Structure 1
Amino acid sequence: VSSHRALLLPLRPRPQADAPLPPRLDQAQTLRRAAASAASDPAPAFRSVTAFAPATVANLGPGFDFLGCAVADASLSLGDTVTATLDPSLPAGAVAISCITSPSRPRLADRLSRDPLRNCAGIAAVAALRALGVRSHGVSLSLTKGLPLGSGLGSSAASAAAAAKAVDALFGSLLPRDGLVLAGLESEKAVSGFHADNIAPAILGGFVMVRSYDPFCLVSLPCPPALRLCFVLVTPDFEAPTSKMRAALPKNIAMGHHVRNSSQAAALVAGVLQGDAALIGSAMSSDFIVEPTRAPLIPGMAAVKAAALEAGALGCTISGAGPTAVAVIEGEEKGEEVARRMIDAFLSVGKLKATATVAQLDRAGARVISTSNLE
């Protein structure tokens, strides 16, 4: 066995105590059993596979825990990359993490565990191997982090999605769509709770709605190709752990706020389907439940939202749990000005330095970007 830590396949990741699970996961278990029976101990199709998974914007304002979309830049730097390689030095059915790098944030790699039980990519890879029924090969992973931790851009989901996609492709791309998402969801469950609004769009691309968990049901929302939707993502130098941001949520909500949020979430879905950027932006800006409780925890967030709207953005809200602020625009023409105004607001009001990226809607989701053939 190689010197780096390996995880034998039968072990299962232990979810955090504060990550509640739904009462039944019959559908998820059925999907995994079906995938395993359809491809019992499949032969590898490649020696190694490299997959990329994009950043994601979860919640989209009023769609807390059930709406999300994938975003990426032209260089594919806004996301994570995983290489899965057959490793004969490992026991059959084992997963190991051989390397973690972060070119733009060198110190970040040192914060991530190479123990597969404690790494999002490792947990998802184990789940994918189990779903595939692989029992004769060990797999090592190399993870390249393009996303910061605790940013609200789906960092853990990107690692999990890239790992699940790479492992599945390594053995012939046999898992169904939901099987891939469920493999990634095993990782999300362990680190931030049982919600698929990051992992689903990270794997499927575009806008995705989580209709239910029991039975497990995802709805991809087709967006007209002509829609030139762009996202101005402004990330302050401030970490907002998902667990802390979820703990701040209200335990009870007024019926009026529930009705208003439901109508705004429905409007957002309609805006996506109709290709109406103005409606998407307006609905994203109209969260009356989650944003009001989280925004005060992010220094300057209210001023940043106001600055974005004044600069011509169609809408602005918190991306996921934050602290990234996301503004939507149609086309890239206003992107630089909106980003500058948002950065200035974070600095002047929140006393935080920030960086900005103008990204496009990523319609592809997790994808294979290179392969190495069997010798």
Structure 2
Amino acid sequence: MVTICFQSPSKPIHNIQPKSKLSSQPPYKSQSLVIVTEPEPVFTSVKTFAPATVANLGPGFDFLGCAVDGLGDHVTLHVDPTVRNGEISISEITGTTTKLSFDPHRNCAGIAAMATMKMLGIKSVGVSLALHKGLPLGSGLGSSAASAAAAAVAVNELFGGKLGNDELVLAGLKSEAKVSGFHADNIAPAIMGGFVLIRSYEPLDLKPLRFPLEKDLFFVLVSPDFEAPTKKMRAALAKEIPMAHHVWNSSQAAVLVAAVLEVEPKRAPLIPGMEAVKRAALEAGAFGCTISGVGPTAVAVIDTAEKGFEIGEKMVEAFLKVGNLKSIASVKKLDKIGARLIKSM
């Protein structure tokens, strides 16, 4: 579909349909004619995947996160003539949870998909979305971000992949802002893969931290049978810090160590046994151990899968012995790809 716009440096853009009388009689001479082409679907259906993420990584509160291979959400999107043009219908929700809204304005996948359609200027096509949750809610593994990332990438791929990663992250942030807060440390790595540093939010400035291709990094993820709501866990943090702490924190090369000491202990007591789990992981040889996102999943880092399974066993034992919580351990590699198209028709 083609939309004709008359544009002037001193006046707003007026969107005018091709058959409008104004199209042949510009309202003022200084205008220039701009042709905006709405992208058409290049597929009738696409299926995408977006990985789980580990945000914060201890000290990187709201500005550092990474993607984890093998865990995540799927979105299937198809052109649907029964859906009103320019809109989205959520047709199905399956997987680890089905207790999510089918209203696209209240569903993280729906919000991100609509934001992406708006960026692309889609007005003459309606689409239907099916969400398969591979991540439980309140897990600390970027559940909402995975859904948003998969949805944003699905819309973009359906219409020819016109948008870049930065734009897709902005679309995902529309969703994150409504369901978990305006922070990109989950949505950015979910879309881009690997480690991503958020240098600023206004404007959004993302810096991928490329992990060496010849090396592997493994995450030992231990998820206890315990829900940690994002709002509750974020509420445990101080709203303000003294100016002296801010200056010191910004000027020191050891800022990350300082942040670990100030942020993590405020959340750890909210997760039964977390401190003992961290000790067990470190004693078993982990490079480090912390809370994934807001929790309750604990994450330890190591360089071999074999050692990772040993560390996971010790962490599970600590959760049960000290926190009286049953938990499940898994060992996953760093996901260096991020959200991607896995099927198209």
Counterparts of 1:224 and 1:46, CA distance in 2? 35
1:81 and 2:74 matched: yes
Question: In structure 2, how many angstroms separate the alpha carbons of the residues matched to 1:299 and 1:201?
Answer: 28
CA distance in structure 1 between the aligned counterparts of 2:238 and 2:261, rounded to whole angstroms = 11
Q: How does 1:18-167 map to 2 (within 5 A)?
A: 40-73=37-70, 78-102=71-95, 105=96, 108-109=97-98, 111-167=99-155
In structure 2, distance between residues paired with 1:222 and 1:94: 37
How much has 1:208 moved relative to structure 2?
0.2
Based on CA coordinates, which of the two structures has the bigger radius of gyration?
Answer: 2
How much has 1:222 moved relative to structure 2?
Answer: 1.1
* Separation in structure 2 between the aligned mates of residue 229 and residue 243 of structure 1, nearest angstrom: 30
Matched residues in 2 for 1:165 and 1:93: separation? 17
**Structure-2 separation of matches of 1:80 and 1:264:** 36
Distance 2:176 2:128 in 1: 20
Q: Is the 8 A contact 1:58 1:67 kept in 2?
A: yes
**Selected match of 1:217 from 197, 205, 216:** 205
In the alignment, structure 1 residue 311 sits paired with structure 2 residue 304: no
Residue 287 of structure 1 aligns to a residue whose secondary structure is helix
Distance of 2:72 and 2:301 partners within structure 1: 19
Question: Are 2:217 and 1:229 equivalent residues in the alignment?
Answer: yes
Shift of the alpha carbon at 1:264? 4.2
- Determine the C-alpha separation between the residues in 1 that align with 2:300 and 2:215: 16
Partner of 1:359 in structure 2? 332
CA distance 1:350–1:39, change in 2 (3 Å): farther
Change (3 A) 1:218 1:49: same
Equivalences for 1:282-301 in 2 at 5 Å?
Answer: 287-301=260-274
Q: Which runs of 5+ in 1 are unaligned?
A: 1-36, 267-282
What is the SS of the residue equivalent to 1:333? helix
**DSSP 3-state at the match of 2:316:** helix
Cα distance in structure 2, aligned partners of 1:257 and 1:326: 27
Give the C-alpha shift of residue 40 in structure 1. Answer: 3.9
**Residues 335/88 of structure 1: CA separation in 2 closer, same or farther (3 Å cut):** same
Contact 1:40 1:134 in 2 (8 A): no
Aligned mates of 2:85, 2:101 — CA distance in 1: 22
Structure 1 residue 250: deviation in Å? 1.4
Secondary structure of 2:280's partner? helix
Structure number with the higher strand fraction is 2
Change (3 A) 1:318 1:217: same
- In structure 2, the residue matched to 1:8 is none
Instruction: Give the TM-score of the pair, scaled to structure 2.
Output: 0.86
Equivalent residue, structure 2, for 1:329:
302
Query: Which of 239, 249, 252 is the aligned partner of 2:237?
Result: 249
Q: Which residue of the partner structure matches residue 175 of structure 2?
A: 187
Q: 1:80 to 1:323 in 2, by over 3 A?
A: same
Q: Describe the superposition over 1:78-99 as per-residue Cα deviations: whole angstroms up to 9, x where unpaired.
A: 1000011100001100101000
Q: For this pair of structures, how many residues does the alignment match?
A: 310
> 1:223: Cα distance to partner?
1.2
CA shift, 1:72, in A, is 1.2
Percent identical: 62
The residue type equivalent to 1:94 in the other structure is E
Runs of 4+ residues over 2 Å off in structure 1: 37-40, 251-266
Instruction: Report the CA distance between 1:265 and its aligned residue.
Output: 5.4
Tell me what 2:15 maps to: none
Q: Distance in 2 between matches of 1:251 and 1:195?
A: 15
